[in-house]
Amino acid sequence: MLNSTQRLKIQLMTNGMAVSTGARAALSREAESRPLTLAEYASTSGIALELEGQIWVNAPIADHNPNFVAATPHRLEHRADEFWVCSGRDEVRARPVPVPAFHDQENDDGEPFTDYAVTHTDRVRISPIGGCSFACAFCDLPFKMRYRRKTIKGLVDAVRRALADEVLPARHVLISGGVPAGEDWEWQNQAYGAVAEAFPDVDVDVMMVPVPGLLDARRLRDLGIHGLSLNLELYDLERARRIMPRKAGIPRQHWLDFIEDAVDVFGPGRIRSLVLVGIEPLEETLKAVQALAERGCEPVLSPFRPDPATPMRDHPPPSVEVLAEVYERSVEITRRAGARLGPRCLPCMHNTLTFPEDAVDDGSAWPGS
């Protein structure tokens, strides 16, 4: 049974949040006129908050999601030097996460660091490929950015800058971004190795589609990669073929075999897979959770957030009731399978349907948590 703050997180994900004039002014003052958020991906378009009880949420705002954040009953307020999420007569103390100091800075080659890297809570995400050679209808990357290969030097420089950030220092790294075209597969693996080698004391994870021939779990482990996120997203094949045709073109058995093998190679707690909630029937989502959990993979429930730049901009986000049911039944499924929901890092839960009870805190909490 969800407590009231957990339920608030779910409500914020579904309805979004208004930001009062006072809260905007306070955030702007505290952040020296930095933007409210580095909205650069569908599921990280809002303001990241830590609510009471170490419950992290990325709350969509109308600035970036006018397509569904309208008459929301939730409002971020600032009073007496504290931030509160107010919902009618209910108030929950909140701590907004500032954007990093590097948000408007450039590297030695005059490129914005944010061309390479974005930090939202305590994890910096870098993207070796801009855009994507695939085109999933829920993802903004192929619709906002043209396909391009970046530079390995730029990636390493950006991680170094993010780890040393004065406002929001990153504690771990995720290498994600678009799927490389075939001619860039070897380069992509070199990029993985270069980042892992440059920062041997930092956990570096890889999020990528297990396209046959692109990823090799043993090679990635030997390069020093800490763990993998292999995102199944949807389970219903007919729907998957319509919404993410290139991903659905990879045989289901290959996905599951790759995931099972990766769990063997990397060990417990190192392999995750995002499952989108709210696009397909709930029972299909739960089948995905079951298939992943029984292979030792940690399913990550990712509430669908319609991005205005995508063909799915008018598809509504999942209701509070659907999210609550998927969450509660997924907890049961993973427990029965001897697994757990991911991610394990508390701040990384900001855009996932996960709570502190579900995962061990691996010590990577935001400073002051």
As measured in angstroms, the least distance from the Cβ of 284 to ligand SF4 is 18
Q: Which is nearer to ligand SF4, 85 or 348 (CB)?
A: 348
Give yes or no for a contact between 92 and 8, defined as CB atoms under 8 angstroms apart.
Answer: yes
Give dist(CA 369, CA 365) in Å, integer.
6
3-class secondary-structure state, position 256: helix
57 binds ligand SF4 (CB under 6 A): no
Assess 341 for contact with ligand SF4 (CB under 6 A).
Answer: no
Region binding ligand SF4 by CB under 6 A among candidate stretches 68-76, 80-88, 138-146, 333-341: 138-146
Given the complex with ligand SF4, which of 128 and 342 has the nearer CB atom?
128
139 or 196: CB nearest ligand SF4: 139
Is 136 a binding residue for ligand SF4 by CB under 6 A? The answer is yes
β-bridge mates for residue 130, sequence order: 148
Residue 322 backbone dihedrals phi, psi, to 5 degrees: -65, -45
Residue 112: other Cβ atoms inside 10 A: 14
Task: Tell whether residue 303 is a contact of ligand SF4 (CB under 6 A).
Answer: no
Nearest to ligand SF4 of 147, 199 (CB atom): 147
- Which residue, 117 or 179, has its beta carbon nearer to ligand SF4? 179
CA-derived radius of gyration, the chain: 19
Binding mask 213-252 for ligand SF4 (x = CB under 6 A): -------------------------------x--x-----
Beta bridge partners of residue 119, listed in sequence order: 124
Beta bridge partners of 297: none
Q: Are 92 and 5 in contact (CB under 8 A)?
A: yes
DSSP E strands in 81-152: the ranges are: 82-87, 90-96, 117-119, 123-126, 129-130, 148-149
Q: Binding residues for ligand SF4, how many (CB under 6 A)?
A: 12
132 binds ligand SF4 (CB under 6 A): yes
Cβ atoms of 320 and 340 within 8 Å: the answer is no
Whichever of 50 and 140 has its CB closer to ligand SF4, that residue is 140
| Interface residue with ligand SF4, options 84, 113, 116, 134 (CB under 6 A) | 134
Reference 344, options 323, 324, 325, 363; nearest CA is 363
Structure tokens at 351: 């855009």
b/e burial code for range 326-354 (CB count within 10 A of at least 16 → b): bbebbbebbeebebbbbbbbbbbbbbbbb
Considering only the stretches 97-105, 127-135, 180-188, 293-301, report the one whose residues sit in contact with ligand SF4 under the rule CB under 6 A.
Answer: 127-135
- The rounded distance, in Å, linking the Cα atoms of 74 and 89 is 10
Among 209, 232, 259, 346, binds ligand SF4 (CB under 6 A): 209
204-207 and 227-229 as β-strands: parallel, antiparallel, unpaired? parallel
User: Cα-Cα-Cα-Cα dihedral of 340, 346, 347, 348, to 10°?
Assistant: -10
Distances (CA, A) of 115 to 11, 91, 105, 141, 255: 32, 37, 10, 13, 30
Stretch in the footprint of ligand SF4 (CB under 6 A) among 22-30, 133-141, 279-287, 347-355: 133-141
Judged by beta carbon, residue 51 or residue 141, the one nearer ligand SF4 is: 141
300 counts as binding ligand SF4 under rule CB under 6 A: no
Between 129 and 292, whose beta carbon lies closer to ligand SF4?
Answer: 129
Residues between 166 and 185 that touch ligand SF4 (CB under 6 A):
178-179
Contact with ligand SF4 (CB under 6 A) among 12, 23, 86, 135: 135
Residue 79 CB, shortest distance to ligand SF4, in Å, is 40
Q: Where are the beta strands (DSSP E) in 181-233?
A: 204-207, 227-229
**CB 176, min distance to ligand SF4, A:** 7
Residue 74 or residue 247: which is nearer to ligand SF4 going by CB? Answer: 247
Which residues form the interface with ligand SF4 (CB under 6 A)? 132, 134-136, 139, 141-142, 178-179, 209, 244, 247
